Amino acid sequence: MPTLEIRDLHVSVGDGSDGAKEILRGVDLTVKAGETHAIMGPNGSGKSTLAYAVAGHPKYEITSGAVTLDGEDVLGMSVDERARAGLFLAMQYPVEVPGVSVSNFLRSAVTAVRGEAPKLREFSKEMKQAMEGLSIDPAFAQRSLNEGFSGGEKKRHEILQLEMLKPKVAVLDETDSGLDVDALKVVAEGVNRFAAGDTGVLLITHYTRILRYVKPDFVHVFSGGRIVAEGGAELADELEDEGYEKYVKAAASL
């Protein structure tokens, strides 16, 4: 059963005149198959840094700690090796790729992850079914990747990738950002379909509204580059009522 383990992770950013700035200051987290974890916290607390560091973004320097997937050293892998190993990152701000259609991008990504190109007819059928589940117009497949997409279309495409690639663990960075209520429900349904399998989900969010539709097994509060509180879904309700102030104060005292 897939397990993502993060142990005492320290991450820094920047190498300018002021030197590198430490963003993550010792993060410990385990995401097992069948579990949905929500990471919440104020802006600048390190939530997205965790996502990009695990995915292998070159901007983020791992200064100490370990990340493993099924016991394999993730930090020793290249970005594409991490994807093939079963890690998936849905970015808060997906990039545009003019001239590359959604269909071609997805087929190339599926080929890279599975190790062989799927038969075109089978791939088309699989993609069509996934698009129907996300209420995506079939014409969407021929559009250039993310070019001119609305916020909702970008997020639906991220979940479409998730359903096509079938990773072991999905890291979803602010998937609810910029979505109206209808799009939020569709995206949440896609996340729930994925989470129903033997997979793990790490859902990073600033607000609790997506947690009305995606019920987390665990909630972790980030502040000052650390996890400062943990609990069940009830912790998200507490944050909705009380905010992050007491957790920010607690992090400042560490």
3-state SS of the chain? CCEEEEEEEEEEECCCCCCCEEEEEEEEEEEECCCEEEEECCCCCCHHHHHHHHHCCCCEEEEEEEEEECCEECCCCCHHHHHHHCEEEECCCCCCEEEEEHHHHHHHHHHHHHCCCCCHHHHHHHHHHHHHHCCCCHHHHHCEECCCCCHHHHHHHHHHHHHHHCCCEEEEECCCCCCCHHHHHHHHHHHHHHHCCCCEEEEEECCCHHHHCCCCCEEEEEECCEEEEEECHHHHHHHHHHCCHHHHHHHHCC
Once rounded to an integer, what is the mean pLDDT over residues 114-134?
93
pLDDT band of residue 120 (cuts 50, 70, 90) is: very high
Angle between helix 102-114 and 120-133 (nearest 10): 110
- Per-residue pLDDT tens for 10-27? 999 976 556 689 999 999
Once rounded to an integer, what is the mean pLDDT over residues 206-219?
92
Once rounded to an integer, what is the mean pLDDT over residues 99-120?
93
- In this prediction, residue 179 carries a pLDDT of 85
- Per-residue pLDDT tens for 184-204? 998 999 999 999 988 999 999
- In this prediction, residue 18 carries a pLDDT of 64
Calpha distance 53→9 (Å, rounded): 9
- In this prediction, residue 16 carries a pLDDT of 54
Calpha distance 185→80 (Å, rounded): 30
Span 3-93+168-252 CATH architecture = 3-Layer(aba) Sandwich (3.40)
Flag the least confident range among 149-158, 167-176, 212-221.
Answer: 149-158
Once rounded to an integer, what is the mean pLDDT over residues 52-81?
94
Q: Identify the CA nearest to 57 among candidates 86, 38, 83.
A: 83
Residue 9 bridge partners (DSSP): 27
Once rounded to an integer, what is the mean pLDDT over residues 135-157?
89
Calpha distance 90→12 (Å, rounded): 21
- In this prediction, residue 66 carries a pLDDT of 97
What is the CA angle 207-83-29, rounded to 5? 50
Distances in whole angstroms, Cα of residue 40 to Cα of each of 47, 76, 153, 239: 7, 28, 24, 9
- 213, pLDDT greater than 80: yes
Q: What proportion of the chain, given as a percentage, has pLDDT over 90?
A: 65
Once rounded to an integer, what is the mean pLDDT over residues 139-145?
92
Mean pLDDT for all residues in the chain:
90
- In this prediction, residue 210 carries a pLDDT of 92
Q: What does the domain layout of the chain look like in residue ranges? A: 3-93+168-252
Once rounded to an integer, what is the mean pLDDT over residues 208-218?
93
- Per-residue pLDDT tens for 79-102? 999 999 999 998 777 888 889 999
Q: What proportion of the chain, given as a percentage, has pLDDT over 70?
A: 97
